[in-house]
Amino acid sequence: MSNNFQLERERSSLSSFPDSKSLFSKLKSGLLPYAFLTPTLIVVTLFFFIPLVMVFILSFTNLDMTNFGILKWWQPANWTLDNYVKIFTNRFFPRILNNTLMYVSMTLIFFNVGMALVIALITTNINRRVGFTFRLIWLMCRLTPVVVYIMMWKALAGPAPMGVINKHILGPLGIGTGEYLLNTNPWLFIILVNGFIGASFGMIIFSSAIEAIPKDYMIASKVDGASTWQTIRYITIPMIKWPLLFVTTYQTLSLLTSFEQILLLTNGGPGLYETEVWSLTAYHRAFSSYFGNTQWGYGSAWAVILVIIGIIMAIIYLRVFKFNELIQEPKIDQL
């Protein structure tokens, strides 16, 4: 009360100062928020915005190792659409697109959203401590350094007697023991490897969202006659629509752009472009071309298209989840 009063007084005394001073203080108070933002703005501009614009420009040039330092890539005269034409006429283009769609959708549906939701629902419906421990175990994949994690998977997939899967699962089942499973089923492993890491993110978000739902709703739905499944369907899921939208969007974008697991696991193989996804292509073109000449311009074009796809996906999700219905009119009027 007294604080408010004081504030009120300070404010009124500020505005009642003579003209020159009030102008100065007005200016000062107007600029102050921006002053606080400046460090962030500088960092974002320097390390994010400028590179983004550069990549965009580079995608219209043929900058590579051979003409680096010679080509004036910033001059519009050197800009063409050649890279884009090259991408869409590439004979492996359909394959890469198909790989990307499969990789993203399968990992997303079965693990990053699907499995995450299932684990979250199960672990929040059982004894709290058991559920918590189980979720903690799931986090392990994420906590392991990615190189170590992939090496472990490679070891798991190896032929018997070293490969655990071959020796202890497939062998006893009589399916065979001698194959390197990454060569026979590369996609299965890519999805598992990514999914095991990816699921833990959604799992944490979903389970905390579920636990934050007031107990009364659950009790009310039970009294109303809902079975556990009906409660999940009609109460729990609609109430975590926001986190669902967030995780789906976020994970789609991060799957679209993530390639390090695939790089380490199969590097796009075993067959020609068999597991090459879009982001991996961009990386290969820009930084590790087979002929040693890294094509920065061409790689940028691949990356730019990926960004555009990502934006389109995000917009579609907002539509699908009826984003407009999720946000309510603010109860406090803007002053």
Partner 1 sequence: MEVRLKNLSKHFGKVKAVNNFNLEINDGEFVALLGPSGCGKTTTLLMIAGIYKPTAGGIYFGDKIVNEVLPKDRKIGMVFQSYALYPHMTVFDNITFPLKLRKIPKEERERRVKEVAKLVQIEELLDRKPAQLSGGQQQRVAVCRALIKKPDILLLDEPLSNLDAKLRTLMRAELKRLQRKLGITTIFVTHDQVEAMTMSDKIALLQLGKLQQYSSSDELYNRPVNLFVAGFIGSPPMNFIDVSLGQSEEQFLLKNKDITIEIPSKIGKFTQSHSQDNKIVLGIRPEDIKIDHKKGEEAEVYVVEPMGMQVLVTVKLGNLQIKVLTTPPFTKKMGEKVKLHFNVNKIHLFDKNTEKSLLLN
Calculate the alpha carbon distances from 313 to 177, 213, 319, 334 in Å.
Answer: 42, 29, 10, 32
- Own/partner contacts of 320-323, CB < 8 Å, gap of 24 or more, are 321/241, 321/244, 321/245, 321/248, 323/245
Min dist CB 221 to partner 1, Å, is: 8
Asked whether the beta carbons of 265 and 153 are under 8 A apart, the reply is: yes
User: Of 50-109, which residues contact partner 1 (CB under 8 A)?
Assistant: none
Min dist CB 319 to partner 1, Å, is: 18
- Own/partner contacts of 325-328, CB < 8 Å, gap of 24 or more, are 326/241, 326/242, 326/245
Q: Could you tell me which stretch among 81-89, 144-152, 233-241, 255-263 binds partner 1 (CB under 8 A)?
A: 233-241
Between 22 and 227, whose beta carbon lies closer to partner 1? 227
Rounded to a whole number of angstroms, the distance between the first and last alpha carbons of the chain is 21
Taking residues 301 to 330 in sequence order and writing x for each that binds partner 1 by CB under 8 A, - otherwise, the string is ---------------------------x--
Min dist CB 219 to partner 1, Å, is: 5
Min dist CB 109 to partner 1, Å, is: 24
Min dist CB 95 to partner 1, Å, is: 42
> What's the length of the chain?
335
**Residue in 164, 170, 226, 318 binding partner 1, rule: CB under 8 A:** 226
Min dist CB 264 to partner 1, Å, is: 43
Between 236 and 258, whose beta carbon lies closer to partner 1? 236
What is residue 49's DSSP assignment? I
Tokens 């102008």 -> residue = 23
Taking residues 206 to 225 in sequence order and writing x for each that binds partner 1 by CB under 8 A, - otherwise, the string is --------x-xx-xxxxxxx
Query: Total number of residues binding partner 1 (CB under 8 A)?
Result: 19
Between 190 and 245, whose beta carbon lies closer to partner 1? 245
Select from 177, 157, 158, 154 the least CA-distant residue to 167. Answer: 177
Cis omega before residue 51 (within 30°)?
A: no
Min dist CB 326 to partner 1, Å, is: 9
Cis omega before residue 270 (within 30°)?
A: yes
> With binding defined as CB under 8 A, does residue 332 bind partner 1?
no
Between 76 and 214, whose beta carbon lies closer to partner 1? 214
User: Of 240-299, which residues contact partner 1 (CB under 8 A)?
Assistant: 241
Q: Residue 179 has which token pair?
A: 């194959």
Min dist CB 227 to partner 1, Å, is: 7
CA distance 241 to 323: 9
> With binding defined as CB under 8 A, does residue 238 bind partner 1?
yes
Asked whether the beta carbons of 172 and 103 are under 8 A apart, the reply is: no
CA quadruple 235, 240, 242, 247: dihedral sign: negative
Between 238 and 292, whose beta carbon lies closer to partner 1? 238
Residues making contact with partner 1 (CB under 8 A): 214, 216-217, 219-227, 230, 234-235, 238-239, 241, 328
